[in-house]
Chains A and B, each alone.
Chain A
Amino acid sequence: MSKEWPLWEVFIRSQHGLAHKHVGSLHASDAEMAVNNARDVYTRRNEGVSIWVVRAADIVASSPADKGALFEPANSKVYRHPTFFPMPEEVKNL
C-alpha cells in the first residue's frame, strides 16, 4: 500500500506589487512537483507571476475557539479608526 502524497497550500502573487494570496491546495510528492502542479492547477489563465507552496502540515493556525480571546480586545478600541474623530466641515486635508 503506497502512502498518500503530502498536502501543500498554494499562494499566488497575481501582479508585481501585490501580496501572495492563498488560492487552494494540492498533493505533490515534493516541493518541486508542488510548484509544477500549482502552475498547472492554479495559473492556467495568467493568474500569477509568482508561486509559493507550503506543506499544509507546517502551517500553524489560530483555533476558532480562541476567536473571542484573540480578537475581542480590538473591538473596544474604536479610536484606532480615523472615523472615530469627526472633523469639522471647514477643516481640510485631515
Chain B
Amino acid sequence: MYAQLVETGLSKVQSIAEMGEEEQKFQARIDAGVKIEAKDWMPEAYRKTLIRQISQHAHSEIVGQLPEGNWVTRAPTLERKSILLAKIQDEAGHGLYLYSAAETLGVSRDDLLAALHSGKAKYSSIFNYPTLSWADMGAIGWLVDGSAIINQIPLCRCSYGPYARAMVRVCKEESFHARQGYDIMMSLAKGTPEQKAMAQDALNRWWWPSLMMFGPSDAESVNSAQSAQWRIKLFSNDELRQRMVDQTVPQAEYLGLTIPDPDLKFNAETGHYEFGEIDWSEFHNVLKGNGPCNSDRLRTRVKAYEGGQWFRDALGAYADKQAAKAQAA
C-alpha cells in the first residue's frame, strides 16, 4: 500500500449516536455510495485523514521515481531505456494528480512539499530499498507496481470524488508498469544462467518488502475501522496482501523462480497460499527512517527542489512582468 498506517486522530470509531446532525447526513451519503465532493460539508477528521492519505500516496509516487532513475543511463537497450523513462514520467504524473486531489481539501502544494522535504510526511517504506541490478527494474514493476494496483483498484470506488477520479487515471496507467516489469523478468529468466540468477536475486530482495507495503495486520486498528466506515479504505491490509500472494506465486512459477519463503504452501481447502511470518521490526525500522536509503532519498529530493528554486522564481518573475505589461497596454 502506498499509504501506510494513516492516522485518523480518533481513539474510537464514531457511532451514529455520537455524530451531530451534519455528520449523520454525511455518513448516510457515504453509506448510500454517494461521492463526497470538495465543497461538500465533511467532518474535520475525514478531511485531515484524507490529506494525510492522499499526500502520502503522492509523495510515494514522487520518491518512487528515484530508485528507477538509478538505472536510466544503464538500461540494457534503447527500447528498455525509453520504456523506463515513460514509466518514471508516469510516476511524476501520478504524483501530480494526487497532489491536485489533496489540494481540493484546502491544503497548499507548497505545504505538502515542505512536509515531505522536512521528513514530517511519510511515503511508502518500499522506496527506501536500493536498486542494485537491472533485474530490480523488473522486480519493482512486477511486485511493487503489482501490489500498488491491488491497493489502488478498490480506491477507484472510494468516497472522496477527486481521489477516486485520480485513482481511475492512475490504475489505467499502472498496468503498463506491472507488465513491463514482468516482461523484464521473463527476458532475464529465459536468458543465460547469470541473468536468471540476477532475476532470482531481485525477487529474493524485493519479495518481503513488497508484502510489507500493505502494512501490518489492521484487524484491530481503530484508524482502519474508521477509514473503512468513511469508505476511504475498502479492504483490510491482510486481505490485500493475501490477494497479492495468491496472484504472484503462479507468476513466479511461470518464470521458474523461487519465492524466498520456505513456509509458502497452497492450501487446497481455502484456495489460498499460506506464507511465513513477516519481519515487522524491519518495516517499523524503515518507517522510522532507518532503512537502507531513507536519508539518500530525502537528500536527493531536497537537492532537486532547492536546485530548481532559481528557475521557478525566474518563471514567476517573467509571468508577473508579462501580466504588468498587458495591464499597461
- Chain A positions near chain B (C-beta within 8 angstroms): 2-5, 7, 24-27, 29-30, 33, 40-41, 44-45, 61, 63-64
Q: B166 contacts which of A3, A24, A29 (Cβ < 8 Å)?
A: A24
CB-based nearest B residue for A9: B100
B89 lies within 8 A of A29 (CB): no
Q: A26 contacts which of B39, B96, B165, B315 (Cβ < 8 Å)?
A: B96
A2 lies within 8 A of B97 (CB): no
- Give the docked Cα–Cα distance between A3 and B319 (Å): 12
CB-based nearest A residue for B323: A30
Residues from chain B with Cβ under 8 Å of A40 in the complex: 89, 93
Beta-carbon contacts under 8 Å, B292-329 to A: 309, 312-313, 315-316, 318-319, 322-323
Residues from chain A with Cβ under 8 Å of B282 in the complex: none
A2 lies within 8 A of B309 (CB): yes
Q: B315 contacts which of A25, A29, A45, A63 (Cβ < 8 Å)?
A: A29
B316 lies within 8 A of A41 (CB): no
Query: Apart from A2-B313, A30-B315, A64-B37, what 16 extra A-B contacts exist at CB < 8 Å?
Result: A2-B309, A2-B312, A4-B108, A4-B110, A25-B100, A25-B103, A29-B312, A29-B318, A29-B319, A30-B322, A33-B319, A41-B97, A44-B86, A44-B90, A61-B39, A64-B41
Q: B79 on the interface (CB 8 Å rule)?
A: no
Q: B194 on the interface (CB 8 Å rule)?
A: no
Residues from chain A with Cβ under 8 Å of B166 in the complex: 24
Query: How many of chain B's residues have a CB under 8 angstroms from any CB in A?
Result: 28
Judged by DSSP, the binding face of B is helix
B96 lies within 8 A of A29 (CB): no
A5-B316 contact in complex given A44-B89, A64-B40, C-beta closer than 8 Å: yes
Q: B109 contacts which of A2, A24, A27 (Cβ < 8 Å)?
A: A27
A41 lies within 8 A of B39 (CB): no
Interface centre among B96, B103, B169 (most CB of A within 10 A): B96
- Give the docked Cα–Cα distance between A63 and B37 (Å): 11
A41 lies within 8 A of B312 (CB): no
Residues from chain B with Cβ under 8 Å of A45 in the complex: 173
Residues from chain A with Cβ under 8 Å of B90 in the complex: 44
Residues from chain A with Cβ under 8 Å of B173 in the complex: 44-45
Residues from chain B with Cβ under 8 Å of A29 in the complex: 312, 315-316, 318-319
- Give the docked Cα–Cα distance between A44 and B170 (Å): 12
B39 lies within 8 A of A64 (CB): yes
Shortest B42–chain A CB gap in Å is 11
B97 lies within 8 A of A24 (CB): yes
A7 lies within 8 A of B316 (CB): no
CB-based nearest A residue for B96: A41
B100 lies within 8 A of A2 (CB): no
- Give the docked Cα–Cα distance between A33 and B318 (Å): 12
- Sorted nearest first, the 4 A-B pairs with minimum C-beta distance are A30-B319, A29-B315, A29-B319, A25-B100
CB-based nearest A residue for B41: A64
6 chain-A/chain-B pairs, Cβ below 8 angstroms: A24-B97, A24-B100, A24-B165, A24-B169, A29-B316, A30-B318
Residues from chain B with Cβ under 8 Å of A41 in the complex: 93, 96-97
Shortest A11–chain B CB gap in Å is 14
How does the 8 Å CB contact mask read for B90-102 relative to A, with 1 for contact and 0 for none? Answer: 1001001100100
Residues from chain A with Cβ under 8 Å of B169 in the complex: 24
- Give the docked Cα–Cα distance between A26 and B41 (Å): 24
- Give the docked Cα–Cα distance between A45 and B93 (Å): 12
Residues from chain B with Cβ under 8 Å of A64 in the complex: 37, 39-41
Shortest B115–chain A CB gap in Å is 14
B315 lies within 8 A of A33 (CB): yes
Beta-carbon contacts under 8 Å, B89-129 to A: 89-90, 93, 96-97, 100, 103, 108-110
